[in-house]
A and B are shown apart, each in its own frame.
Chain A
Amino acid sequence: MSSSDLIMYEEEFSRIDEELQKLYVQTNAMVVFLVDKNGQLIASAGDTSDIDTTSLASLTAGNIAATGGIARLLGEKEFTILFHEGEKENIHISLIGQRVILVVIFDKRSSLGLVRLRVKKASEAFVKIFSDITSKSEKVKSSDSFDESPFAEISDEDIDNLFK
């Protein structure tokens, strides 16, 4: 398994959640998401009941991956911000620390300027949280203290049961 597996513990998760909530309030956004670069939703704030968050996460990551590919063709390292303007809703996508993607969906109750400003602030906080997560999972991996691991006692039967 790749060394870049993302392992999220309660503590960091609530820090992330807190930052997202803050951003959501400060930007007056409709909804904010944090997505892993591979398209997996990490957390969200705001009303997501009308949104297919799983699809949105995967497409956002595809979008970032595609523009990242374009960037490299042009000799840029990466485009870190994408902005799409719709008739009513806009979406601001930014890449944070090469690892996670922050998505802000907003309408006319907010503005691009405001979103930009707040996203920049929030990004710094997220970079810190994710570097903490990385060092924590490295520590856990090397220390053999897998007491909470759900995998230690996984049986073939458990796996078979998934496909019943």
Chain B
Amino acid sequence: MSFINYSSREINCKIVYYGPGLCGKTTNLQYVYKKTNPDQKGKLISLATETERTLFFDFLPLALGDIKGFKVRFHLYTVPGQVFYAASRKLILKGVDGVVFVADSQIERMEANIESLDDLRINLAEQGYDLDKLPYTVQYNKRDLPNIAPVESMNKLLNPREVPYFEGVAVTGPGVFETLKNVAKQVLTELKKHY
């Protein structure tokens, strides 16, 4: 649910990073935070366990600039990827405008990727959203590791609809902004269709 304020001339959109545990969702936000000008970002809030696993969500507000005199803000959230945090994941998806699915490219995580994608689809459907109609971008993360699946086979498994996808190395940055930019663009394009 985007929030368009004609009085303060602001548009707020919510983007959620989804994916299996340890795939690199939080790392994506940390990189965006690190590379964004101080005047364009708020605090990065992480509600995490002592071992730095996301417990409820990470939150990063970005104010990138203006479009037609409206200040455009993106609120980035990550979900906790661990299977047993299912209830929290559902809550974070409320009011989402765009989704980034971060997949872990390591071969041994393919099962977890598929499971998480199913979970995403079901949780969205529960809130009345259809993943196939939502602004949606896929990131194949951890491309720096040796034991990774080829992109083509990941596409077959995780991206049958052939939405935009990016190879990423969230720890050092490749793919991080490309992914964000792509989903943000889809969100704004969607708004344009409706208002």
Write out, one digit per residue, whether chain B residues 1-19 have a CB within 8 A of any chain A CB (1) or not (0): 1111111100110100000
Is B42 within 8 A of A54, CB to CB?
Answer: yes
Write out, one digit per residue, whether chain A residues 140-159 have a CB within 8 A of any chain B CB (1) or not (0): 01000010111111101011
In the bound complex, what is the Cα–Cα distance between A4 and B2 (angstroms)?
A: 8
Is A5 within 8 A of B65, CB to CB?
Answer: no
Write out, one digit per residue, whether chain A residues 5-35 have a CB within 8 A of any chain B CB (1) or not (0): 1111110011000000000000000000000
Across-interface contacts of A37 in B (CB, < 8 A): 94-95
A134 at the interface (CB under 8 A from B): no
> Contacting B14 at CB < 8 Å: which of A9, A38, A150, A159?
A38
B104 at the interface (CB under 8 A from A): no
User: Footprint of A on B, CB under 8 Å?
Assistant: 1-8, 11-12, 14, 42-43, 45, 47, 56-57, 59, 61, 64-65, 67-70, 72, 75, 87-88, 90-92, 94-95, 97, 128-129, 177, 181, 184-185, 188-195
Across-interface contacts of B195 in A (CB, < 8 A): 7, 141, 146, 149, 151-152
| Count of interface residues, chain A, beta-carbon cutoff 8 Å | 43
Is A7 within 8 A of B191, CB to CB?
Answer: no
In the bound complex, what is the Cα–Cα distance between A4 and B194 (angstroms)?
A: 12
Across-interface contacts of B59 in A (CB, < 8 A): 39, 55, 58-59, 62
Distance in angstroms from A75 CB to nearest chain B CB is 15
Distance in angstroms from A85 CB to nearest chain B CB is 21
Chain B: CB-nearest residue to A12: B7
In the bound complex, what is the Cα–Cα distance between A141 and B194 (angstroms)?
A: 8
* 20 additional contacts (CB under 8 A) given A40-B14, A69-B91, A141-B195: A4-B1, A5-B4, A6-B2, A7-B3, A8-B7, A10-B6, A13-B7, A38-B3, A38-B94, A39-B14, A42-B3, A55-B43, A62-B59, A65-B91, A68-B91, A150-B70, A151-B188, A151-B194, A154-B68, A162-B184
